[in-house]
Structures are given as C-alpha cells and as structure tokens.
Homo-oligomer: A and B are copies of this chain.
Amino acid sequence: MGEVRVLLVDDHPVVRAGLRAMLTGFDGISIAAEASDGRAALHELARLAALGGMPDVVLMDLQMGEGMDGVTATAEIRKLHPAPPVLILTTYDTDADILAAVEAGASGYMLKDAPPEQLRQAVLQAAAGGTALAPRAAALLMDRISNPGTSLTPREVQLLELLATGLSNRAIARQVFISEATVKTHLVHIYGKLGVDNRTAAIAAATQRRIIRPPGARG
C-alpha cells in the first residue's frame, strides 16, 4: 500500500538528520519535507498541498529556539482543511507541555528518548488516525479526568508573573493597585497550591509546570 509521508519539524539539524535516518530506514515511511520551525512548517504544508499531497503525519518538536513554537503550529495545522495528524516528539514530559499539546489538538505525544521501534509504531498509528501517547503522557491524562485538580486563579497567575520578575511584595502591590496585605494573602494561596513555602520555589515550580514563562523568555 501507500507510503506514510512525514513532515519533520525541528529546529536542530542534528535531530532532523537523526529522524530522517531513522524513519527512512523503516519500510513504509518516507520524508515528505522538513521545516525548522512552526512558520516554516505551515509554508511547507501549503506548498505540499499545492503540489497535490498533504503529508500523512506531521512530526513536531515542541521547543523551537526561534520562530513559531510547536504548540502554536499544531493549533494552526488543525485549522487546515485536509488537516494532517500532528505527532509531538519532544524532550520533556512535563504536565504543561503534554496538556498544551493535547489541547492544541495533537494526535500523540512521544519523547525523543523513545526507542526507534516505538517511534515507528507511533508514526504509523498517528498516520492511520489513531493516538500514540508516551506512558507518562497517558498517565497524566487519565489522572486529569479523574482529578479536576486545584489550579491557580487568573489573579494568582498574574501575581506569580510579577513575582518572577523580581519585584518585592510592596512593588507588586503598587503595580496592581492593591495593598501589600493582599499580595501576601495571594502568595500564601499560591504557595499552598504549588506545594512550596517560599517565593523562589514558587517561581521554580510555576516555571517547571509552565504556568508562567521563564524570566527572560527563551526557546
């Protein structure tokens, strides 16, 4: 039957070379095109569509040094008409990454340290319209539906962001026009929800869970 044609999206030439070598080594899988960021991926898809054939699956990295990130690109791709399934292939398996990817409409979530055979299975599965999840991704989603979970309120997230810029309680208070007492109250709530007991740990935890962006944005 037909070959499964893959669009590779990753900003590292080394990783693209690895995936190319690995995937083309499998029977029934070929590389349709490659892109180094989300924007380029969309261009490639437009080009391929014009040439008559969408790829059967997009293999997408989440962390892109510059340009459009993987989550945004995935969401954009889902809007296309012959929308190819997007299989996320990334380095990290944090809650926020997994959740963001699934929310964006990814068909799967695999890790770069997965053995080649698992990767092959995942690509074929996604191309066939199925789902492929790394063990931890699957576990997280199961846990999520059984456990709604305590999440931060928008206000708390806002204060957390200011916190991460290095502002004192007083400075934060002035910034958002509330009293220092209120800032402290919010922080106590935040610490409780994040399971920490000081501001630096809160920043670390919130950054890790991608609740806030790292201070001094980078890919």
Residues of A within 8 A of B (CB): 11-22, 65, 89, 91-92, 94, 112-116, 119, 163-168, 196, 198-205, 207-210, 214-218
Query: Do residues A196 and B166 form an inter-chain contact, with CB atoms below 8 A?
Result: yes
**Which of these, B94, B114, B198, B204, contacts A164 with CB under 8 Å?**
B204
Bound complex: CA of A17 vs CA of B91, how far in Å? 15
How many copies altogether?
2
Q: Given known contacts A17-B18, A19-B14, is B202 in contact with A113 (CB within 8 Å)?
A: no
| Complex A-B: 19 CB contacts under 8 Å | A12-B113, A13-B112, A14-B19, A14-B89, A14-B119, A17-B17, A17-B22, A17-B116, A21-B21, A92-B218, A165-B201, A165-B204, A166-B205, A167-B201, A199-B199, A199-B200, A200-B200, A200-B215, A210-B216
Query: Do residues A203 and B200 form an inter-chain contact, with CB atoms below 8 A?
Result: yes
- A38 CB to closest chain B CB, in angstroms? 15
Which residues of chain B have C-beta atoms less than 8 A from A16's C-beta? 18
**Which of these, B11, B112, B204, B218, contacts A216 with CB under 8 Å?**
B204
Scoring A15, A199, A202 by chain B CB atoms within 10 A of each residue's CB, the highest score goes to A15
Query: Do residues B92 and A200 form an inter-chain contact, with CB atoms below 8 A?
Result: no
Query: Do residues A166 and B13 form an inter-chain contact, with CB atoms below 8 A?
Result: no
- A208 CB to closest chain B CB, in angstroms? 3
Bound complex: CA of A91 vs CA of B21, how far in Å? 20
Bound complex: CA of A12 vs CA of B168, how far in Å? 37
Which residues of chain B have C-beta atoms less than 8 A from A208's C-beta? 215-216, 218
Bound complex: CA of A150 vs CA of B22, how far in Å? 47
Which residues of chain B have C-beta atoms less than 8 A from A196's C-beta? 166
Which residues of chain B have C-beta atoms less than 8 A from A15's C-beta? 14-15, 18, 112
